[in-house]
Amino acid sequence: MSANESVQYFQPSAEFVKQATISGMDAYKALCDEASKDYTGYWARLAREHVSWKKPFTQVLDESNAPFFKWFADGTLNASYNCLDRNIEAGLGDKLAIVSETDDGQVRKVTYKELLAQVSRLANGLRAKGIKKGDRVVIYMAMGIEGVVAMQACARIGAIHSVVFGGFSAQSVRDRINDAGAVAVITTDEQCRGGKTIPLKPAVDEGIALGGCETIKTVIVFKRTGGPCAMVAGRDIWWDDVIAGQSDVCEPEWVEAEHPLFLLYTSGSTGKPKGVQHSTGGYLLHAVLTMKWTFDLKPNDFFWCTADIGWVTGHTYITYGPLACGGTQMVFEGVPVYPDAGRFWKMIQDHKISIFYTAPTAIRSLIKASDTNPAVAPTNYDLSSLRLLGTVGEPINPAAWMWYYNDVGGGRCPIVDTFWQTETGGHMITPLPGVTPMVPGSCTLPFPGIQATIVDETGTELDWGKGGLLVVSKPWPAMIRNIWNDPERFKNSYYPNDFNGKLYLAGDGSVRDINTGYFTITGRIDDVLNVSGHRMGTMEIESALVSHPKVAEAAVVGRPDDLTGEAICAFVVLKGARPVGEAATKMIKELQDHVGREIGPIAKPKDIRFGENLPKTRSGKIMRRLLRSLAKGDTVAQDVSTLENPAILEQLRGN
């Protein structure tokens, strides 16, 4: 935003400010000042106030082996105890913890007491299977109470969970089992989405059959639909048989604050997914703080985050954050457009949801649906229970923000547009609803204690108004600790030598408003695309395309898309002749399906264009900038005189 651009600010209402946990800009500034004067003292105070410790910590931040930072290292705790037992001890045993709604509208409810009993029985069942502290367990399940139970049960016994999103393919499951060295998989026979059943257990079997999964001893299967399910004797066991006869009391495994709570694999700019490793103590602290401060969670709130537990948003704002704060939350199995595009609004109306957290892609698809069919517009539903809205996963465009604010929130609900990543554990830059004047499209100011800034390629801080690289200048408790089994990649990815290993590189470009200092995210700086809020590495998609026997070479770039934010566009050179007409259409479908099988449906390229070769520099580097221009349909402004075959530009334009 330039200095002379007029900016419209949206203020939180006086009533909201009055009741907010962090109330008014002075309160925000006081927290930021406390953090800047005594950084470790600030985080230590918060960790003592908001997390329950078995053994209190005496060390706060250990920087001796930077960038492998440690927080609260000599303290011990258990994440599941913090989410369940301490709430029951505080008298919340009969409070609703989770209300779940299935794809076809069935509703189930569990209290904190009931949830603890379920978690304990499964945890005891896992222990009986020989699963112990430090073992890795892959979870590949439908959205429902059991997915949360599986994650909490792992945390209870100190096993490290790695959840794989139910939309990923057998190959993706295999790769994660293999990299993590998992000893067990917890899965579901099938999941239900949009009125269809999608097999999960068969995908696990297929993944294991691909080889490299020799560490797997046990596969636990929850019966969701009763769909066809082959059980391998000696390895596979039904969930009900695992918990049969188990006590509903399970002593938590008290682990060190730095003990890994989970691994979550994310796409990087190379083909190999990165196992992002999170700690227990620091991660939990940030999950709690952001629930209390960003979402302003109160005891009588009904919170709904629409993410899947397969993504970090579902970890922090379904499995751990709401429960660690003693909140009540909705867990939803289905999709926003089934049975029609009024599903979200109907659920908010029926369940009286007060805090709603979803992705810009979902918002844009629901705007489109309301325009097409006014009957499913949010204004036809009673959404008066809402008091706060949030967005996550990608920047929200101002027009979608305004619709969300007016048509969903009735112009009375603050919107928290949260910027964060799998690697950061929780919100990094976000409005606080009782503090921040909002600007559509801007994630505004850093969360108190987070030292975010914008630098150039040398690591020099830039003036406000100048775009550059988003970095965090100090370690924070919830940050990524390592890439599983790959410390060098961790350092190169997040603490590059260009910045002397001192700054955390987020991988996003950003600019700060010249007057307010508000941050606006301008997009990825590496070869990672953000499609519907899901990060997809271009290399990963290229590798999947090239694994097709007919493909010689492929390059993948992103182009802007009104619905998904970014769309995947692939430029492909086949081993045979360049296909045209019907042959091209057939080949496009074949390649899209192939990528869907290799990675998962979300990675399917929206556009595939064929050329006799790809544009390269003299040194043989693919000219990706040029491909981006072609994907967008822009006039190619750069010098193409070095191209061996200028005719391919026309081919790759898709003409």
Residue 456 lies in a domain: no
What pLDDT score was predicted for residue 615?
A: 85
What pLDDT score was predicted for residue 546?
A: 87
What residues have CB less than 8 Å from 186, skipping those under 6 apart? 137, 138, 139, 140, 141, 150, 219, 220, 222, 239
CB atoms within 10 A of CB 249: 10
- Is residue 532 marked as binding? yes
Q: Read off the DSSP letter of residue 412.
A: T
What DSSP element (H or E) covers 58?
A: none
pLDDT digits (tens, 9 = 90+) for 21-61: 999 999 999 999 999 999 999 999 999 999 999 999 999 99
- Is residue 395 marked as binding? yes
- Is residue 508 marked as binding? yes
Give all strands (DSSP E) within 366-518, no chain letters.
388-391, 415-417, 452-455, 468-472, 482-483, 504-512
- Is residue 548 marked as binding? yes
SS3 132: coil
Residue 539 lies in a domain: yes
- Is residue 193 marked as binding? yes
- Is residue 196 marked as binding? yes
- Burial class of residue 465 (count of CB atoms within 10 Å of its CB; 0-12, 13-18, 19+): middle
What pLDDT score was predicted for residue 486?
A: 96
pLDDT digits (tens, 9 = 90+) for 556-587: 999 988 888 889 999 999 988 999 999 999 99
Q: Which of 355, 291, 296 is nearest to 21 (CA)?
A: 296
- Is residue 493 marked as binding? no
Residue 483 lies in a domain: no
What pLDDT score was predicted for residue 4?
A: 38
Count of domains observed in the chain: 1
Whole domain around residue 549: which residue ranges? 532-652
- Is residue 524 marked as binding? yes
- Is residue 372 marked as binding? no
Report CA-CA distances (Å) from 3 to 8, 263, 462, 578, 635: 13, 43, 16, 50, 30
- Is residue 611 marked as binding? no
How many whole angstroms separate alpha carbon 166 and alpha carbon 208?
A: 16
- Is residue 313 marked as binding? yes
Q: Read off the DSSP letter of residue 315.
A: I
How many whole angstroms separate alpha carbon 327 and alpha carbon 312?
A: 19
Residue 638 lies in a domain: yes
- Is residue 327 marked as binding? no
What CATH number is given to the structural domain containing 553?
3.30.300.30
What pLDDT score was predicted for residue 614?
A: 85
- Is residue 463 marked as binding? no
How many whole angstroms separate alpha carbon 631 and alpha carbon 444?
A: 31
- Is residue 640 marked as binding? no
Burial 258-287 (b: 16+ CB within 10 A, else e): bbbbbbbbbbbbeebbbbbbbbbbbbbbbb
Residue 585 lies in a domain: yes
Q: Which of 356, 273, 179 is nearest to 535 (CA)?
A: 273
- Is residue 416 marked as binding? no
Q: Contact 164/138 with Cβ under 8 angstroms?
A: yes
Residue 565 lies in a domain: yes
Q: At what angle do helices 581-598 and 538-546 cross, to 10 degrees?
A: 120
SS3 223: coil
DSSP for 372-391, written as a single string: H-GGG-GGGS--TT--EEEE
What DSSP element (H or E) covers 530?
A: strand 528-531
How many whole angstroms separate alpha carbon 220 and alpha carbon 200?
A: 12
pTM of full prediction above 0.85: yes
What pLDDT score was predicted for residue 617?
A: 62
pLDDT digits (tens, 9 = 90+) for 72-98: 999 999 999 999 999 999 999 999 999
What residues have CB less than 8 Å from 37, skipping those under 6 apart? none
Q: At what angle do helices 112-128 and 145-157 cross, to 10 degrees?
A: 60
Q: Assign residue 195 a region: left if phi > 0, alpha if psi is -120 to 50, beta otherwise? A: left
How many whole angstroms separate alpha carbon 413 and alpha carbon 396?
A: 16
Q: Contact 391/359 with Cβ under 8 angstroms?
A: yes
- Is residue 551 marked as binding? yes
Helix, strand, coil distribution of the chain in percent, nearest 5: 35, 25, 45
- Is residue 420 marked as binding? yes
- Is residue 625 marked as binding? no
The letter for the amino acid at 587 is M
- Is residue 419 marked as binding? yes
Q: Contact 483/493 with Cβ under 8 angstroms?
A: yes
Residue found by looking up tokens 């390629």 in the block? 457
Residue 644 lies in a domain: yes
Residue 39 lies in a domain: no
Please identify every stretch of the chain with a pLDDT value under 70, giving residue numbers as ranges.
1-6, 268-271, 617-621, 636-645, 655
